[in-house]
Amino acid sequence: MDEKQRLSGSSNIETRESDSPYTEDGVDLTLIWWMLSLTPTERLEALQEHLWSMMRLRGDVAET
């Protein structure tokens, strides 16, 4: 399995360069496209929820 196949999560699907969701430096474009589809407020809400989830996983917060 080459690097591109590993990143795309499949050894069976052949991807063309232009179809790859990853740039050559490994940036996941699908996440960028998703974030760009949101409003600024929604982007900040997504960040806040992500952080809150991480903090809960680490046990940094009191469960209510």
Partner 1 sequence: MLPKPDFIEILRTLAKHGAEFILVGGVAAVAQGAAISTLDLDLVHSRSPENLDRMMKALEALGARYRTPGAEGLKPARSHLESEGHQLLMTRAGPLDLLSVIGSRRGYGDLLPHTIEVPVGDVKVRVLSLAEVIKTKEEAGRDKDRAMLNVLRRTLEEKCKRKP
Task: Report the residue number, 6 or 50, with the smaller CB distance to partner 1.
Answer: 50
Q: Which two tokens stand for residue 10?
A: 């499949």
| 25-64 residues near partner 1, rule: CB under 8 A | 25-29, 31-36, 38-41, 43-45, 47-48, 50-52, 54-55, 60-62
Three-state SS string across the chain, please?
A: CCHHHHHHCCCCCCCCHHHCCECCCCCEHHHHHHHHCCCHHHHHHHHHHHHHHHHHHHCCCCCC
Nearest CB to partner 1, comparing residues 12 and 59: 59
> Residues interacting with partner 1, by CB under 8 A?
23, 25-29, 31-36, 38-41, 43-45, 47-48, 50-52, 54-55, 60-62
